[in-house]
Amino acid sequence: MNALMTDELIGKFAAQLGPLGAPTAFVPLGQQAADGSMAYVFLMTFADKTQLHWIFSLDKAGKISGLYAKPVEAQ
């Protein structure tokens, strides 16, 4: 894991997502290279119908360099 991804940061991320339970769907949406990293985007759906765009990136060494979850806006 990249030095920027601390155990504390991962714990906060898990605490925010934990109440949603296990995803019922995890659909890949795409990937994009940026600044030497590769970002991957997934659509996560949960039992209560909450949907999040889950984005993670890997650095050149293949280590996790970023995690981000963003609610999908209603259309």
Q: Which helix (H) or strand (E) holds 12?
A: helix 7-17
Per-residue pLDDT of 7-29, as tens digits, reads 887 788 788 888 899 999 999 99
Bridge partners (DSSP) of residue 45 are 25, 51
3-state secondary structure of 41: strand
pTM for the whole structure: 0.76
Separation of alpha carbons 47 and 17, rounded Å: 13
Contacts of 38 (CB under 8 A, 6+ apart): 31, 32, 57, 58
Separation of alpha carbons 21 and 44, rounded Å: 11
Per-residue pLDDT of 32-64, as tens digits, reads 998 889 999 999 999 999 999 999 899 888 888
